[in-house]
Chains A and B, each alone.
Chain A
């Protein structure tokens, strides 16, 4: 399982810490604080999966997801959105721009790991 490379993007540091607690011992996790850093990082090394927040300063999650899904080289990377925006409309917007899954915060550890496993296997 250590072979999988996951990028996590969130402007809230506390959220990244939580993800590290959850995933760092299972996957190779790269935590980033904004969308532009994510794009450059993906360009350097394509991850097996991306976890991203939606509400971020600068490039938000919806825009970042849209770019990655439109680009042929990155369109196959599974994207799981993690957001405190939890209404049906917001979830639909996320799926519409190409997100493979949308998990509302707060979420349970099992829910996250199951979803990641779904897209990594």
Chain B
């Protein structure tokens, strides 16, 4: 079994142990609580039962005592009526003692007059009847014999003198010397005309009382006893005078020897209801006993019952034991059901799932019908599918990324802004041209700064710091050069991505770096090639244009020369002159073209030498204007020259600038329709530069041609009649102005025509 299975089992074990401990604890606590609650209740109930039994005993005793007392008082009353009439008394008194309904336990009775009160000669004159063993009432005169001891000082006689009529005293219990019966005597005073006459007595057999106590003791499953006024036992526990072994029983001896004092003390402390309960330990080995004492005030007796507490506790314990057994049985069943349920609904389904997880099952099947397990299984299967899909996508993504990185030969860099540390992978190290030992124990950020080309260093570091600080920037790209150890240059392109927290602070920066050198070289090669191709194209175009511009005047020269030769004999002199004139014109045009070509080639070859001198721009413009007056007049074109400053003196080559002005003016005249005007304006601007502009009202120049018209042989809107134009004028002008450090450009007018400007730098 695997570890996970063991864990599941141990979990089940823990659950089992927890449930068992909880149940045992609950069992103990409930039993304790039941014990604390039930035991006092049962004890109280047993006490109540004991009191009830005792009251019955007391009731029996009182009934016995009352009969004896009544008889004694009755005899005293009869005697007080017939004090002197002995014969009457001898007749009446036995009838009272043996009257029907009188219990057998009245053993005897009689009257005992004071000495010499009935007969001055007779000290003792008692009238006493007692029952013999057969229960017959017999008159006893033994007490009156002279040899017999006087009775007037007996304990049952003397105290009676202090009593009033109807009051009695009870003697201590004693064993009758004649009948050997356990008995007591009640004595009542006899008063005759308020003078004390004597005592009437009734002897009461205590057997009934003792039997009643024993019966009740049996009912209580304990011991009963009756204690005399001086603390002696009238009825000892299980008293049986014939059975000495009872007297020697452990309980009996214990009570006699050890607890007599306790009984007396407790007897004296009896409460108003004359009932007292207390516990005694009869034997160290035995459970304590419950003692009930009940005091009888009239006889000053104490009735007691001793019940061993186990008599009360045993049923309770039996009850509790049964409760415990039922509880235990219930708990066992309960636990069994819980464990079965746990095993069936939780343990088995989980073990089933675990065993499937151990196997190669892609999806789990669940056991049982528990919704939770079914849900868990379904969710697990969903998660499994999602995980598999994610893994697949991740794998594909990683593959793609790795392929991309491999194919791009890209190195990765990671910068931690918190620690300001830079890390890179091995491919980056190779791109940077470093060995492993180069980067050991070195701060890589500093190392990278060190190998970056000095011209690019500031750009790279500044851009990086700005990007980190600018919360809106998440990525940027940068190209820079690094210097390899062999002093070669290597181009690197960095693509940097910055991760930010919610506040926009940079938390990390990751970069991809590529070696751009080959691409740069390739680009340079392509540019070079394109430039060469462009150069060839321009050269071809130039040659084609050159061919055209050369052929046109050449065509005129050759044609008119041929005409002259052919018609030299026939043609008029004027015609021949015209032919020569055309040849001259074409030749001049050819010469101008050649001069322009020379100028252009000089400038392009860098061989142009400027003869700069202090010159007046306005004066040059004016001289050209004057030269072109005839041509202007022929074309009906008005020329306006405005200058904002009379002093337009600068340091420039007057010949070259004159060529430029001549070109621009010539073009303006060529492109201006008749009856239109040309405006020339000059001024010195705030920077002290000399500015020139010339405006014509010819056809507009398309915006796309405003730049290209300064290229050789490019003409916009070739003029209708161009004899002198070579197509090189503007190209040469641009070169001349450029050689002076100035600038020339063209603007299309809003409505019609174009304006050409040039600026010459200040002195």
Contacts and interface: CB of A to CB of B under 8 A. Distances in A.
Contacts of B554: 105-106
Given A21-B559, A83-B548, 18 more contacts: A11-B718, A13-B723, A17-B582, A18-B559, A33-B720, A55-B718, A57-B717, A57-B718, A57-B720, A84-B555, A86-B547, A86-B548, A87-B547, A105-B555, A106-B555, A106-B558, A106-B559, A107-B555
A33 B547 contact: no
The 4 closest A-B pairs by CB, nearest first: A84-B551, A57-B718, A106-B555, A105-B555
Q: Which of B552, B562, B586, B722 counts the most A-chain CB atoms under 10 A from its CB? A: B552
16 contacts: A11-B718, A12-B552, A13-B723, A14-B585, A17-B582, A18-B556, A18-B560, A21-B563, A56-B718, A57-B718, A83-B548, A84-B551, A87-B547, A105-B551, A106-B554, A106-B559
Contacts of A13: 721, 723
Contacts of B719: 57
B376 interface: no
Interface in B539-568: 544, 547-549, 551-552, 554-556, 558-560, 562-563
Contacts of A108: 562
A85 B721 CA distance: 18
Interface of A: 11-15, 17-18, 21, 33-34, 55-58, 83-87, 90, 104-109
A56 B715 CA distance: 11
Chain B: number of interface residues, binned into ranges: 20 to 34
B316 to A, nearest CB: 134
A55 B545 CA distance: 11
A105 B552 CA distance: 7
B722 A11 contact: yes
Contacts of B720: 11, 33-34, 57
Contacts of B723: 12-14
A85 B560 CA distance: 20
A57 B554 CA distance: 21
A7 B157 CA distance: 199
A56 B720 CA distance: 8
Contacts of A33: 720-721
The prevalent SS among residues of B at the interface is: helix
Nearest to B585: A14
Nearest to B719: A57
B726 to A, nearest CB: 13
A21 B718 CA distance: 26
A90 B719 CA distance: 22
Contacts of A57: 717-720
A110 B627 CA distance: 42
Given A55-B548, A105-B552, A14 B562 contact: no
B547 A84 contact: yes
Contacts of B586: 14
B556 A14 contact: yes
B556 to A, nearest CB: 5
Contacts of A11: 718, 720-722
A77 to B, nearest CB: 24
A98 B363 CA distance: 80
Nearest to B554: A106
B591 to A, nearest CB: 16
A84 B582 contact: no
Contacts of B718: 11, 55-57
A51 B395 CA distance: 76
B427 to A, nearest CB: 52
Nearest to B671: A57
Interface string B69-110: 000000000000000000000000000000000000000000
Contacts of B563: 18, 21
Interface in B578-594: 582, 585-586
A18 B586 CA distance: 12
A14 B563 CA distance: 13
Nearest to B718: A57
A104 B558 CA distance: 13
Contacts of B717: 57-58
B556 A104 contact: no
Contact of A87 (B544, B555, B582): B544
B562 A109 contact: yes
Interface in B129-153: none
A16 B641 CA distance: 37
Contact of A85 (B544, B556, B722): B544
Contacts of B551: 84, 86, 104-106
Nearest to A90: B544
Contacts of A58: 717
Contacts of B562: 108-109
Nearest to B566: A109
A85 B549 CA distance: 9
Contacts of B559: 18, 21, 106
